[in-house]
């Protein structure tokens, strides 16, 4: 079936948005065909059909002993190698208690399973601060919608007011942020060491200063072959920490193919963002990833904490770290200010690596 043309797309998008029902509500209503606004063109869908490569896997790294002189060098090597080749890795023995992992998934699931009236209290299209519940952050920017809803909660530099965080997940969100921040700072140290930098360099430069927790719900989709859960993209920030429940869907681009990021119980998935690719002068890679529409009746829940550069100083210049540049390895990216970077991000089609390419020298 081809994508449907000749209908009033904006009208249908607005109706869907105003209903605040989300794709979870559509799915729960028992529909058997998806609305036109979610149907992707055949050329976009053909790439999804290629089965994922099974002969290779996202690197799995055991963080136990990360603070011991005996184990740390090996872990630095593994993380740095994974960030250079895959841009993605999975962690076990990362120090975040299983109770916090399970509690966070259960709390977000409980949020999305509430009736529309409850979720609607948090409905917003304000992406840059506070709390936002909506289906498709880019609903009005993208050509085609995708099969997921989102609850986004800012944590820094300006945290959302606690009373604005939905009560069903408030305690878990606050606790999660503490764990994820600690882990991200450890990872940034390891990534610095892997580049031959002082461990504290990224933190000192404010590259872990901005944090948002973004939880997605990918409910059952009755026509998973006609849409996607989340389109292919790379993350624009520094580092991403992802927690997922047991439902498959996330895939990462590797070589010419797409590889499933297995939902290993107790694990966390980490990926490099565009900012880190640029400031590491291309040593670490920000890699495209996507989520397939969910064909299982159990909703897929993923909770992502994004760690981004401090962007309060609008005039501050970012670019490849001078410590990494040598005559043999000159800068391959130009410097930029954050407002310029963000403007580029929002003006490029979601789903391409154009952001980073645009800053190539």
Residues that bind Ni ion (CB under 5 A): 235
Q: Confirm if 168 and 104 have CB atoms less than 8 A apart.
A: no
Characterize the bridge pairing of strands 228-233 and 239-244: unpaired
Q: Name the residue nearer to ligand OGA (CB basis): 76 or 292.
A: 292
The footprint of ligand OGA on residues 18-37 (CB under 6 A) is: none
Residue 250 touches which of Ni ion, ligand OGA, none (Cβ within 5-8 Å per kind): ligand OGA
| Torsion on CA atoms 202, 208, 209, 212, rounded to nearest 10 | 160
Q: How many residues bind ligand OGA (CB under 6 A)?
A: 11
DSSP structure string for 201-239: HHHHTTTT-EEEEEEEEE---S-TTS-EEEEEE---SSE
Nearest residue to Ni ion on Cβ basis: 235
Site map 245..274 versus ligand OGA, x via CB under 6 A: -----x------------------------
For the bound state, the minimum distance from the C-beta of residue 193 to Ni ion, rounded and expressed in Å, comes to 25
**250, 291 in Cβ contact below 8 A?**
yes
Backbone angles phi, psi at 303, to 5 degrees: -130, 120
Does the protein bind ligand OGA through residue 58 (CB under 6 A)?
no
Question: For Ni ion, which is the closer residue by CB, 20 or 289?
Answer: 289
Q: In angstroms, how far is the first alpha carbon of the chain from the final one?
A: 42
Q: What is the CA radius of gyration of the chain?
A: 20
Q: Which is nearer to Ni ion, 25 or 249 (CB)?
A: 249
Of 235 and 274, which has the nearer Cβ to Ni ion?
235
The residues in 285-344 that bind ligand OGA, with binding defined as CB under 6 A, are 289, 291, 302, 304
Residue 244 contacts ligand OGA per CB under 6 A = yes
Nearest to 243 by CA among 167, 183, 162: 183
CB of 344 to ligand OGA, least distance (A): 17
Decide whether 20 or 289 has the Cβ nearer to ligand OGA: 289
Shortest distance, CB of residue 120 to Ni ion, whole angstroms? 26
Cβ neighbours of residue 306 closer than 8 Å, sequence gap 6 or more = 210, 211, 212, 214, 235, 237, 240, 273
For Ni ion, give the closer residue by CB, 20 or 89.
89
Strands 149-156, 257-260: pairing is unpaired
| Shortest distance in whole angstroms from residue 199 CB to ligand OGA | 27
Kindly state whether residue 211 participates in binding ligand OGA, applying the rule CB under 6 A.
no
Q: Does 214 bind ligand OGA (CB under 6 A)?
A: yes
- Of residues 64-123, those binding ligand OGA (CB under 6 A): none
Cα–Cα distance between 102 and 4 in angstroms, integer?
40
Distant-in-sequence, close-in-space partners of 15: CB < 8 Å, separation ≥ 6: none
Stretch that binds ligand OGA, among 120-128, 162-170, 242-250, 341-349 (CB under 6 A): 242-250
Helix (H) or strand (E) holding 12: helix 9-19
Residues that bind ligand OGA (CB under 6 A): 214, 216, 230, 235, 242, 244, 250, 289, 291, 302, 304
């Amino acid at each position: 079936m081809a994508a449907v043309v000749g209908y009033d797309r904006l009208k249908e998008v607005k109706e869907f948005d105003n209903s605040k029902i989300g794709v979870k509500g559509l799915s729960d209503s028992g529909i058997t065909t998806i609305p036109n606004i979610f149907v992707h063109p055949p050329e976009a869908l053909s790439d999804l059909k290629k089965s994922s490569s099974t002969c290779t896997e996202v690197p799995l790294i055991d963080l136990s002993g990360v603070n011991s002189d005996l184990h740390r060098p090996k872990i630095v090597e593994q993380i740095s190698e994974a960030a250079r080749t895959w841009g993605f890795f999975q962690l076990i023995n990362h120090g975040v208690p299983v109770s916090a992992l399970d509690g966070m998934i259960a709390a977000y699931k409980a949020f999305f399973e509430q009736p529309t009236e409850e979720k609607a209290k948090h409905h917003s299209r304000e992406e840059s601060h506070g709390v936002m519940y909506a289906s498709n952050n880019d609903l009005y920017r993208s050509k085609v919608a995708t099969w997921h809803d989102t609850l986004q909660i800012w944590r820094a530099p300006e945290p959302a007011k606690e009373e604005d965080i939905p009560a069903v997940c408030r305690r878990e969100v606050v606790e999660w942020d503490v764990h994820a921040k600690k882990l991200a700072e450890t990872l940034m140290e390891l990534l610095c060491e892997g580049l031959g930098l002082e461990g504290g360099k990224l933190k000192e430069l404010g590259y872990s200063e901005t944090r948002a927790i973004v939880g997605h719900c990918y409910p059952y989709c009755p026509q998973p072959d006609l849409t996607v859960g989340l389109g292919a993209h790379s993350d624009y920030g520094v580092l991403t920490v992802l927690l997922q429940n047991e439902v498959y869907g996330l895939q990462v681009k590797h070589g010419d193919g797409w590889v499933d990021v297995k939902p290993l119980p107790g694990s966390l998935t980490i990926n490099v963002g565009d900012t880190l690719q640029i400031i590491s002068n291309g040593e670490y890679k920000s890699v495209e990833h996507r989520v397939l529409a969910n064909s299982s009746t159990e909703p897929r829940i993923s909770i992502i904490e994004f760690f981004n550069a401090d962007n309060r100083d609008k005039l501050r210049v970012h670019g490849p770290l001078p410590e990494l540049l040598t005559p043999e390895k000159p800068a391959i990216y130009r410097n930029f200010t954050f407002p310029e970077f963000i403007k580029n991000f929002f003006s490029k089609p979601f789903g391409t690596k154009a952001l980073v390419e645009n800053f190539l020298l």
